[in-house]
């Protein structure tokens, strides 16, 4: 297949010509492999920001060395220039004079473009306007930008291009960069918090022989060496619970999950979750732990106790609400599923309230959940633990002792969105086997999100798993909430995109 000849814009061609001139002069920036920095730009702003112009002028200074990308260039006559550069965390102004770096170097400096990466050595000063500035004594072009950056005021106008070319979005938008720095801090905060409790971070397989651990449609791939199809994991749950059987008393994993489902502002087919399993604890323990995780992550990135999201004020520091799923349905619709009823009665109620029921959902438990999703979910604003899920939709949860129709499971909802899913884990291998059988029957009836029969997991439970509490928290949605990001694509560095034509 012939390779199409690349075409360049006039601006791109000019930049390539500038690069070739540098090569001829023996100043190819791409041959530089290392540059010693003595400080970050944030450090300079913190260290020298409070000095006056006079104090800096009289300060006995050592020459500092910094590096960054040129974001702004303006000449002050023909013999001086002001430049703004960015590094990972901050920005600073540079002041360059011909009489200080030499005429030849200054003429080369005037040929620099926005987007070029330079290293400079100099001393700190303040301008007449009080702006902290590096007075440049020496500079080095470290990398030539052969493509121009978008207009600094307009940025990337096409929202799809923001996500496709995230590197450009990060270059041009400080707020975007801060979002991802906060994301990293949130994940590190969770790890440190769980580590401090003695829980162990582990890694489990991404390729699974059977699909399980969640109600989701999987991606399927082929394992050539074994000549068999395998699933990309839809959850880490079943392997982590095997580790509890093996004797660990607290394990967690932060990792990528893959679900072959639609894309939206809240859904990406691959996403990050944390799953935690703690032996000898129950669902109620996890409610308290979840509140604590949300609070410390919010503190870690410097947010106030009450945050803004989706046009609402959310108080993360008062106790989260608790709501039984059946009570939620009754409060909104008046339908009382606490009453014992037949499938036929439940189907009649669904028809009366225009709730669509698929063939595989023709059970009272499924219909309760459909009522909840249709009428209740979107009404939840404040952080709320919704508990009491029917057994039919919770194949891995322990049966509630007071009412065997329900399980000891909760989901955390905020502003109509699910943020966490937790169980008192089912550790009865006989019951678990029957639940898996029910899932197979559902799959035969058309539920492509049903779990497979996992006999190896059943055998693990037959070796005895202690009472255990387990939870999964969506990292991406947590970051969205705490950084006030509207779309999940805003908190994923490289979200899944439709292929370009």
Q: Which residues contact 275 (CB under 8 A, 6 or more apart)?
A: 235, 236, 237, 240, 252, 253, 470, 471, 472
Q: Partners of 277 in the beta sheet?
A: 251, 470
Q: Where are the alpha helices (DSSP H) in 270-324?
A: 283-300
Structure tokens at 453: 């029969």
Q: Which residues contact 188 (CB under 8 A, 6 or more apart)?
A: none
CB 120 within 8 A of CB 87: no
Q: Partners of 106 in the beta sheet?
A: none
Q: Around Cβ 497, how many Cβ atoms within 10 Å?
A: 12
| SS3 call for 23 | helix
Percent of the chain with pLDDT over 70: 98
Task: Count CA atoms closer than 13 A to 390's CA, side-chain side.
Answer: 18
Residue 175 has pLDDT above 60, yes or no: yes
Alpha-carbon span 150 to 154, nearest angstrom = 7
Residue 450 has pLDDT above 80, yes or no: no
- Report DSSP letters for 25-40, one per residue: TT--GGG------S--
Q: Partners of 423 in the beta sheet?
A: 409, 470
CB-count exposure of residue 132 (10 Å: 0-12, 13-18, 19+): buried
pLDDT at 419: 97
Q: How far is CA 438 from CA 140, 242, 371, in A?
A: 68, 22, 21
Alpha-carbon span 474 to 422, nearest angstrom = 12
292 is in an annotated binding site: no
138 is in an annotated binding site: no
Percent of the chain with pLDDT over 90: 84
Alpha-carbon span 365 to 498, nearest angstrom = 37
Structure tokens at 496: 């899944």
Alpha-carbon span 1 to 272, nearest angstrom = 38
Q: Average pLDDT of 443-472? A: 89
Each residue's pLDDT tens digit, 482-495: 999 999 999 999 99
Each residue's pLDDT tens digit, 194-241: 999 999 999 999 999 888 777 788 999 999 999 999 999 999 999 999
Q: How far is CA 307 from CA 34, 40, 280, 483, 485, in A?
A: 43, 30, 34, 9, 12
Which contiguous run of DSSP H or E holds residue 65?
Answer: strand 64-75
Alpha-carbon span 44 to 133, nearest angstrom = 9
Q: Around Cβ 408, how many Cβ atoms within 10 Å?
A: 23
pLDDT at 395: 87
pLDDT at 155: 59
pLDDT at 215: 77
Q: Average pLDDT of 159-166? A: 86
CB-count exposure of residue 152 (10 Å: 0-12, 13-18, 19+): exposed
Alpha-carbon span 205 to 480, nearest angstrom = 27
CB 200 within 8 A of CB 248: yes
Mean pLDDT of the chain: 94
- What proportions of the chain, in percent to the nearest 5, are helix, strand and coil? 35, 25, 40
Each residue's pLDDT tens digit, 237-268: 999 999 999 999 999 999 999 999 888 888 89
Q: Partners of 232 in the beta sheet?
A: 207
Query: Between the CA atoms of 291, 295, 300 and 301, what dihedral angle is there, to the nearest 10 degrees?
Result: 110
Residue 431 has pLDDT above 80, yes or no: yes
* Pair type for strands 200-201 and 132-143: unpaired
Matching residue, tokens 């030499």: 102
Structural domains of the chain ordered from first start: 10-149 (2.40.50.140), 172-320+382-490 (3.30.930.10)
Is the full-model pTM beyond 0.95? no
Confidence of residue 154 (pLDDT cuts 50, 70, 90): low
Q: Average pLDDT of 295-312? A: 97
Each residue's pLDDT tens digit, 62-96: 999 999 999 999 999 889 999 999 999 899 999 99
Sign of CA dihedral 102, 107, 110, 112: negative
- Report DSSP letters for 351-419, one per residue: HHTT----GGG-SHHHHHHHHIIIIIGGG--S-EEEE--BGGG-TTBPBPSS-TTBBSEEEEEETTEEE
CB 172 within 8 A of CB 152: yes
Closest listed residue to residue 282, CA positions, set 98, 117, 426: 426
- Report DSSP letters for 434-486, one per residue: HHHHHHHHHHHTT-TTPPPP-HHHHHHHTT---SEEEEEEEHHHHHHHHHT-S
Confidence of residue 378 (pLDDT cuts 50, 70, 90): very high
Strands (E), 217-260: 220-223, 228-232, 250-258
| SS3 call for 29 | helix
Closest listed residue to residue 298, CA positions, set 175, 186, 419, 417: 186
Q: Average pLDDT of 162-181? A: 92
Backbone angles phi, psi at 316, to 5 degrees: -90, 0
| SS3 call for 43 | helix
Matching residue, tokens 């003595």: 38
Residue 308 has pLDDT above 60, yes or no: yes
């Amino acid at each position: 297949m012939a390779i199409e000849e690349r075409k360049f814009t006039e601006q791109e061609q000019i930049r390539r010509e500038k690069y070739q001139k540098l090569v001829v002069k023996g100043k190819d920036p791409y041959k530089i492999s290392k540059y010693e920095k003595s400080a970050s730009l944030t450090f300079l702003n913190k260290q020298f920001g409070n000095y006056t112009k006079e104090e800096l002028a009289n300060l006995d200074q050592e020459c500092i060395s910094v590096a960054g990308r040129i974001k702004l260039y303006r000449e002050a006559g023909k013999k001086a220039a002001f430049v703004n550069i960015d590094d990972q965390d901050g920005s600073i102004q540079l002041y360059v004079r011909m009489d200080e770096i030499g005429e030849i170097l200054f003429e080369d400096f005037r040929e620099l473009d926005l987007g070029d990466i330079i290293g400079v050595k100099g001393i700190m000063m303040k301008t007449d306007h009080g702006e902290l500035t590096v007075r440049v004594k020496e500079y080095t072009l470290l990398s030539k930008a052969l493509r121009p950056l978008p207009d600094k005021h307009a940025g990337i106008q096409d929202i799809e291009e923001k996500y496709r070319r995230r590197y450009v979005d990060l270059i041009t938008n400080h707020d975007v960069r801060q979002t991802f720095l906060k994301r990293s801090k949130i994940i590190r905060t969770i790890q440190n918090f769980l580590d401090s409790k003695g829980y162990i971070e582990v890694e489990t397989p991404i390729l699974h022989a059977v699909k399980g651990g969640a109600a989701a449609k999987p991606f399927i791939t082929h394992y050539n060496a074994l000549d068999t199809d395998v699933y990309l994991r839809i959850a880490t749950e079943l392997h982590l619970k095997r580790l509890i059987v093996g004797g660990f008393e607290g394990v967690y994993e932060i990792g990528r999950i893959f679900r072959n489902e639609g894309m939206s502002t809240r859904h990406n087919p691959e996403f990050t979750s944390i799953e935690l399993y703690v032996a000898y604890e129950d669902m109620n323990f996890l409610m308290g732990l979840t509140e604590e995780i949300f609070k410390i992550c919010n503190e870690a990135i410097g947010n106030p106790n009450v945050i803004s999201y989706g046009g609402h004020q959310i108080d993360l520091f008062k106790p989260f609400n608790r709501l039984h799923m059946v009570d939620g349905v009754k409060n909104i619709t008046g339908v009382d599923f606490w009453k014992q009823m037949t499938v036929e009665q439940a189907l009649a109620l669904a028809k009366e309230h225009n709730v669509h029921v698929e063939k595989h959902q023709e059970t009272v438990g499924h219909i309760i959940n459909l009522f909840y999703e249709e009428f209740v979910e979107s009404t939840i604003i404040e952080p709320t633990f919704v508990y009491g899920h029917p057994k039919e939709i919770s194949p891995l949860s322990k049966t509630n002792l007071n009412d065997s129709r329900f399980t000891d499971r909760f989901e955390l909802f905020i502003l109509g969105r699910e943020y966490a899913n937790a169980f008192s884990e089912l550790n009865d291998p006989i019951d678990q086997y029957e639940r898996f059988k029910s899932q197979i029957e559902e799959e035969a009836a058309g539920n492509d999100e049903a779990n497979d029969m996992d006999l190896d997991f059943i055998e693990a439970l037959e070796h005895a798993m202690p009472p255990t509490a387990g939870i999964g928290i969506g990292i991406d949605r947590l970051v969205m909430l705490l950084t006030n990001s509207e779309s999940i694509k805003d908190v994923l560095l490289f979200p899944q995109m439709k292929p370009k034509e």
